Amino acid sequence: MWQVGSPISDFRLTCVEPRTLHESTYQYRRDHRGWLALIFYPRDFSFVCPTELMAFSDRAHDFEQLGCRLIGASIDSAEAHQEWITVPANRGGVAGIRFPLASDPEGKVAKLAGAWNEEQQLPNRGLFLIDPDGRLQYSVIHNLHVGRSVDETLRVLRALQTGGLCPVAWTGEDGTLDAAGMLTQGRVIGHYRLREVLGNGSFGTVFLAWDLRLQRQVALKVLRQTHERAREALLDEARAAASVNHPSVCTIYAVEELDQLPVIVMRYVEGGSLSDRLRDQSLTPDKAKRLVKQIAEGLAAAHERGVVHGDLKPANILLDEQGGPCIVDFGLSHGRAVVASQSKTSASDELEVDETILTATGTWLGPMESRGDEAIEQTWDMAKTVSWHGGSASLIGTPAYMSPEQAIGKPPGPLSDVFALGLILAELLSGRRVLDERSVYEILHFLRDEDIAKRVLERLADDFPRACLSMLSRDPTDRPTARQVASALDAT
């Protein structure tokens, strides 16, 4: 039996075209284009059927405008349809009908659809709307004696085609409900009940939620409604991250669309972020090295599965009840790059600049302050994400934790994550960010021209493990892998 939201099975019907009375075979998988409204009725010449089918016929143009084909189907033979089509309405016929009538003599298709009346050996008045992808999106089955409303069918079809949420009595002039704007405490999305907002990020809002099926707490990230390609890129990256199984990587339970909203369902980690911990208290050198070793092991597990983080920073490292790290938001920089290449639309915590300040080869075109962006520069938090695209280059990442290659517009790789981890290690040991310049321009200029490792040595002297100093090499090929970092810290 066909289920709403699922692909329907293939079927074949013999149809009679009303204008020519010619017979033709409609095979669903071969002939399906656009939307299909399949209307089952019991018999030709019955009492309710002529008025009902002619009501649909009178609105055939409306269905055509919506790209929806109409087919009526009963158990009558093609010959019976041909006769009925020639009989005028005042004699119980459907002369002038504007869509084909199909023959389903044994009720095979009606049974597939779930519209068959076994007792009467007739199809009930079933109506099915099937989308261009072959999925059943709407079904209604009436008693044999009750006709269906054409207006309601068109209302539902228009609502389905909006792709949004449409309440009762919705019309095309009303617009759709803003599902993302209605996400408040207590609301249920899919089988998750929202409890509270945990945070807002560049690409979505994270909620503490209760899984009603498995009876457990989860973190549920609802992605912002953005470009289709960008959304799919984000979800693909999340699915890739879900394949990483490591204690230091946040477990992703599900990546799906619920109530037309793209969501990522993750393990809920109660201890806050490493960024929060750094504000509240410092770590001893031994604790800092142990923590970074665990993070490096998680990164290594991800890199070995081809998954790059691309925006590693303390805010993206959660701490569990025992203080162990849990890395979140793997791969979101890839989604940001897709957005940057398509749009200049700004999120609340992103900086987007219309002018290119660097080329793909790294040629510097000048500071943003000189281009009228001084107010933005002076107030921008260097620990927040920059998403900036112009011309042939993109600047994607967090300035305070960005690698030199990202600073000249190159995409992040595994060794970019290693560089960011080196900056985090130095910050944990010194209590201050390595890249603590006042503006994005100053940070990017420093990454391009200065020796980062030298600055770390000046500040930390012997406190920074010499075996890890190469993590901060400007050339990515001179850096160790995450696995090598973990081994080096294990030996200190």
Positions marked active-site? 49
Helix or strand run (H / E) with residue 312: none
Q: Phi then psi for 223, rounded to 5 degrees? A: -75, 145
Cα 80 from Cα 97, distance rounded (Å): 15
Token digits of residue 403: 């690698």
- The backbone torsions φ and ψ at residue 198, rounded to the nearest 5 degrees and listed phi first, read -90, -30
Question: How far is 395 from 414, CA to CA, in rounded Å?
Answer: 17
| Backbone φ and ψ of 163, nearest 5° | 75, 10
CA distance 219 to 221: 7
Cα–Cα distance for residue pair 446/409, rounded to 1 Å = 15
For residue 361 the two structure tokens come to 């080869």
Residue 294, Cβ neighbours under 10 Å: how many?
21
User: Could you tell me the sign of the dihedral formed by the alpha carbons of 316, 298, 436, 413, in that order?
Assistant: negative
The amino acid occupying position 461 is A
SS3 272: coil
Cα(55)–Cα(154) distance, rounded to whole angstroms?
A: 12
Strands 261-267 and 188-189 turn out to be unpaired
Q: State the Cα–Cα distance between residues 34 and 67, nearest whole angstrom.
A: 6
> CA 188 → CA 212, 217, 256, 260, distances in Å?
9, 14, 15, 13
Cα–Cα dist 67/164, whole Å: 18
Q: Residue 61: phi, psi to the nearest 5?
A: -65, -40
Helices (H) and strands (E) in the chain, counts: 16, 19
**Cα 38 from Cα 15, distance rounded (Å):** 12
CA 294 to CA 24: how far, in whole Å? 68
